[in-house]
Amino acid sequence: MQRGAEIVVRGAGVTYPGAATPTLQDLTLTIAPGEFLVVVGPSGCGKSTLLRTINRLIPLGAGSIAIDGTDIASLDPVALRRSIGYAIQAVGLFPHMRVGANVAIVPELLGWSRERIAARVDALLTLVHLDPKRYRDRFPRELSGGEAQRVGVARAIAGEPRVLLMDEPFGAVDAIVRSQLQAEMLLLVRELGTTTLFVTHDVDEALLLADRIVVVNRGRIEQIGTPLEVLANPVSPFVERLFHANDAVVELREKARELHHR
């Protein structure tokens, strides 16, 4: 299957019209092909903005972003978005389209043949553990929260994207369903090899899913590192507090520190 793309963000900055301070400031990072990068930070820190600059839903005010060496500013934004998977917290399934039609949107836009699309839809639904026969012709309103999130993921990867953007895709489901979806997500993306940028405010989710974690605060990167590194060596009081905020994490952190210094 397709390999993930490399994403290089250089000095990215975004200032919303009329805002006194920039939402993103001088952000630089490289996401390796196939890497699962989780952006974590408090609400309003600019993490969603970062994600949305990559498919040009938000224009960069400064700096540049390149996917596999091509500056995205030189690409047609509509074509760029079709090549990038996109899943959001509100799920965003279109209520007037059946599950199958929702999943088929991007392949249709890409001009695939009808047979190829039908086969792809069934394969994707199976991949996210929904029986195509049962779910293909349902409307989104006939799905549970977890099922809808699964369809949202299936739709995001339908066009065989080399980059996947996910903005708190599991934010709207209960804890049990969420951990199930997280575990499946991990396997799925590993298997596909898609480069994934995943935004969350949930520290546990970040620790579970990430190859590397990017901690963002007030539009700047506080720290980038593997979950272990970030836990063991928080570079600032902010990062320490963020991961300390969760009691369950404290224990894990002690263990991580031990492991790291061994």
Stretch near other proteins under the rule CB under 8 A, chosen from 11-19, 134-142, 203-211, 213-221: 134-142
Which residue(s) pair with 164 in the sheet?
85, 196
- Residues 187, 215, 45: CA angle, nearest 5 degrees: 115
Interacting positions 71-130 with other proteins (CB under 8 A):
78-84, 86, 88, 90-96, 105-106, 109
Q: How far apart are CA 233 and CA 245, in angstroms?
A: 16
Residue closer to other proteins, measured from CB, 93 or 207: 93
- Residues 102, 106, 112: CA angle, nearest 5 degrees: 115
Binding mask 163-182 for other proteins (x = CB under 8 A): --x-----------------
Residue closer to other proteins, measured from CB, 86 or 112: 86
20 near other proteins (CB under 8 A): no
Residue closer to other proteins, measured from CB, 82 or 120: 82
Beta carbon of residue 236, minimum distance to other proteins (angstroms, whole number): 32
Query: Which residue spans within 61-114 are E strands per DSSP?
Result: 62-67, 70-71, 84-88
Which residue(s) pair with 199 in the sheet?
39, 167
Residue closer to other proteins, measured from CB, 125 or 207: 125
The correct pick among 120, 136, 150, 155 for binding other proteins (CB under 8 A) is 155
Q: Please, are residues 23 and 14 in contact by the beta-carbon 8 Å criterion?
A: yes
Interacting positions 32-71 with other proteins (CB under 8 A):
52, 55, 57
With a CB cutoff of 8 Å and minimum separation 6, the contacts of 8 are: 30, 31, 65, 66, 69
Distance of CA 100 to the CA centre of its chain: 22
Beta carbon of residue 232, minimum distance to other proteins (angstroms, whole number): 36
Question: Could you list the residues that contact other proteins (CB under 8 A)?
Answer: 52, 55, 57, 78-84, 86, 88, 90-96, 105-106, 109, 139-141, 155, 165
